[in-house]
C-alpha cells in the first residue's frame, strides 16, 4: 500500500478539469478539512493550483494548466507526430517531424532531434514535462519498450526506445500501441466521451483493434494484441504478409483494396483515373466510389463486409456495443459505416444487433499522439495503471 499523500490525492481528484471548493474536496476524498486547507495553501503557493481572483472562503480551486506538460508521440514509418499537452488538456504545440524511413541509429537520432525540437517550443514560464507517451505501430513488450519483431523497419525490433528516451531526455516514458493510444484520445477528445467501454479499430495498410474500458486498455500476457487483420476470413484467399492464407487484411487492408481495383481495371473493368492504372491511390478509389463507379464500390464494399463480419464476432464475444473506426480508410465515409453496421445488425445476437453503434472517428492524424500524452498525464495524476 502506498503512503497517504493528500497533495497527490487532491491533484488526482481535480484532474482533468474539475473545479471544486475545499469543502467539496474534503468530502469527496474523506480527508479532514484542515488538512485540505493546509495542502491547498501550499499547492497554491507553489503554483500547482489556481483559484478565483476574489478571496472568498468558498473559492473553487483547480489545477494550474500551465504547471504540468506531457509529450505525446506517434511513431510512424516516415514521420513522428508530436504534441505537447498541458494539464488543462490544451494543446501547446503540434508538430510533424520527418523520419524519411531511415533505420537503426540514424532513426534514433532523428527521433531525439524531433523531441528536442518540441521541447524547445515551450516558453520559459511553462511548467515541467512530467512524462512522454510513445505510441508505436508494431507490437512490443510494453514493460521494456523492446519490440519482438518489426516487419516494417528492419532492425527496429532491437532498439529499446523507452530506455534511450529516458536516458537522453530524462523523461519518464510509456510505450504503447498506437491503437491503444488512439482509444485514450477517443475517450477524452473524441466521440466516445460518454462510453465506458468501446472497441477502436484502425483501418490502414494493417487492421488492429484496441479494447478500452474504464480508462484502461486491455492487454494480454504477450506482445500480441488486437491483430484483427490476421484473423483468417477466407481460407482459400491470398497469402498474407504474416504467412497465413486469407487473412482479413488481404481483403480489407488498404493495399488489398487498391490491388483489387488495379488488377481488374487492367483487365478492362471501367475505372476513371488521370494517371496510369499502376499509380491508383486510395483517394482515387474513394472518389470513384462516390461517383458510383462499380469496381471501386465493389472493392470497398467487399472490404467493409469482411471487416463488419469479423467485427461482429468481436462484438458478440466481448459484448461491447460501441465501435469506433479510424485510419485512412475512414475517408470512404458512409459507404464503410453502412456496410459495417449492416454486418453487425445481421450477425450479432440480440440486443447487440440493434444496440451496437458504429461511428467514424472525427479526430485527425494527431489522435494517437494526443491519446499518448493524455495517458501519461492520467497515470501521473490518478496513479492508476493504464492497462488491464
Nearer to Zn ion, 42 or 234 (CB): 234
Nearer to Zn ion, 206 or 308 (CB): 206
Count residues near Zn ion (CB under 5 A): 5
Select from 167, 224, 170, 227 the least CA-distant residue to 201.
227
Residue with the three cell numbers 467487399: 302
C-alpha cell at 160: 529499446
Spatial separation of the C-alpha atoms in residues 241 and 239, rounded to whole Å: 7
80 burial class (0-12, 13-18, 19+ CB within 10 angstroms)? buried
Residue 207 CB, nearest approach to Zn ion (Å): 10
Window 8-27: residues binding Zn ion (CB under 5 A): none
Nearer to Zn ion, 225 or 374 (CB): 225
Nearer to Zn ion, 170 or 222 (CB): 222
Spatial separation of the C-alpha atoms in residues 11 and 25, rounded to whole Å: 10
What residues contact residue 270 under an 8 Å CB cut-off, 6+ apart? 293, 294, 295
Q: Measuring CA to CA, how many Å separate 14 from each of 60, 87, 359? A: 11, 10, 31
Spatial separation of the C-alpha atoms in residues 286 and 110, rounded to whole Å: 34
Residue 310 CB, nearest approach to Zn ion (Å): 12
221 burial class (0-12, 13-18, 19+ CB within 10 angstroms)? exposed
Query: Which positions from 195 to 234 touch Zn ion by CB under 5 A, shown as an x/- string?
Result: -----------------------------------x----
Q: Give me the residues paired with residue 136 across strands.
A: 177
Residue 193 CB, nearest approach to Zn ion (Å): 34
Q: Give me the residues paired with residue 176 across strands.
A: 135
Spatial separation of the C-alpha atoms in residues 324 and 58, rounded to whole Å: 42
Tell me the Cα Rg of the chain.
23
What number of residues does the chain have?
A: 388
Nearer to Zn ion, 165 or 247 (CB): 247
Residue 137 CB, nearest approach to Zn ion (Å): 16
Residue 252 CB, nearest approach to Zn ion (Å): 12
Query: Which positions from 228 to 267 touch Zn ion by CB under 5 A, shown as an x/- string?
Result: --x---------x-x-x--x--------------------
Q: Is the dihedral of CA 273, 278, 282, 283 positive or negative?
A: negative
Nearer to Zn ion, 147 or 230 (CB): 230
Nearer to Zn ion, 122 or 241 (CB): 241
Nearer to Zn ion, 166 or 227 (CB): 227
Spatial separation of the C-alpha atoms in residues 171 and 143, rounded to whole Å: 16
Spatial separation of the C-alpha atoms in residues 348 and 342, rounded to whole Å: 10
Nearer to Zn ion, 174 or 205 (CB): 205
At residue 93, the 3 state secondary structure works out as: strand
Residue 144 CB, nearest approach to Zn ion (Å): 26
Residue 98 CB, nearest approach to Zn ion (Å): 29
Residue 311 CB, nearest approach to Zn ion (Å): 17
C-alpha cell at 151: 516487419
Binding site for Zn ion (CB under 5 A): 230, 240, 242, 244, 247
Amino acid at each position: 500500500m502506498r503512503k497517504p499523500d493528500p497533495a497527490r490525492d487532491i491533484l488526482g481528484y481535480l484532474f482533468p478539469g474539475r473545479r471544486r471548493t475545499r469543502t467539496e474536496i474534503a468530502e469527496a476524498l474523506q480527508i479532514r478539512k484542515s488538512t485540505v486547507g493546509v495542502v491547498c495553501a501550499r499547492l497554491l503557493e507553489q503554483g500547482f493550483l489556481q483559484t478565483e481572483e476574489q478571496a472568498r472562503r468558498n473559492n473553487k480551486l483547480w489545477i494550474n494548466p500551465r504547471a504540468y506538460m506531457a509529450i505525446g508521440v506517434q511513431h510512424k514509418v516516415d514521420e513522428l507526430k508530436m504534441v505537447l499537452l498541458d494539464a488543462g488538456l490544451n494543446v501547446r504545440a503540434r508538430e510533424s517531424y520527418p523520419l524519411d524511413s531511415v533505420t537503426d541509429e540514424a532513426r534514433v537520432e532523428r527521433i531525439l532531434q524531433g523531441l528536442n525540437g518540441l521541447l524547445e517550443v515551450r516558453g520559459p514560464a511553462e511548467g515541467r514535462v512530467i512524462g512522454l507517451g510513445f505510441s508505436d505501430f508494431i507490437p512490443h513488450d510494453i514493460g521494456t519498450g523492446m519490440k519482438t519483431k518489426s516487419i516494417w523497419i528492419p532492425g527496429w525490433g532491437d532498439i529499446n526506445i523507452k530506455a534511450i528516451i529516458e536516458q537522453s531526455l530524462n523523461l519518464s516514458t510509456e510505450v504503447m500501441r498506437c491503437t491503444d493510444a488512439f482509444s485514450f484520445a477517443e475517450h477524452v477528445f473524441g466521440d466516445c466521451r460518454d462510453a465506458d467501454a468501446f472497441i477502436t479499430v484502425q483501418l490502414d495498410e494493417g487492421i488492429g483493434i484496441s479494447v478500452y474500458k474504464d480508462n484502461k486498455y486491455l492487454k494480454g500476457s504477450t506482445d500480441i494484441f488486437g491483430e484483427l487483420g490476421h484473423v483468417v476470413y477466407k481460407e482459400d484467399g491470398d497469402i498474407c504478409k504474416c504467412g497465413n492464407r486469407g487473412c482479413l487484411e488481404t481483403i480489407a487492408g488498404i493495399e488489398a483494396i487498391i490491388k483489387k481495383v488495379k488488377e481488374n481495371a487492367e483487365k478492362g473493368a471501367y475505372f476513371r483515373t488521370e494517371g496510369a492504372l499502376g499509380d491508383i491511390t486510395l483517394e482515387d478509389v474513394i472518389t470513384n466510389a462516390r461517383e458510383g463507379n462499380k469496381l471501386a464500390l465493389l472493392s470497398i464494399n467487399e472490404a467493409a463486409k469482411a471487416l463488419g463480419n469479423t467485427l461482429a464476432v468481436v462484438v458478440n464475444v466481448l459484448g461491447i456495443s460501441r465501435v469506433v473506426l479510424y485510419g485512412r480508410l475512414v475517408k470512404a465515409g458512409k459507404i464503410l459505416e453502412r456496410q459495417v453496421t449492416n454486418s453487425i445488425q445481421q450477425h450479432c445476437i440480440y440486443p447487440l444487433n440493434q444496440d451496437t453503434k458504429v461511428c467514424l472517428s472525427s479526430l485527425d492524424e494527431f489522435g494517437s499522439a494526443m491519446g499518448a500524452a493524455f495517458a501519461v498525464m492520467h497515470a501521473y495524476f490518478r496513479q492508476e495503471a493504464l492497462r488491464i
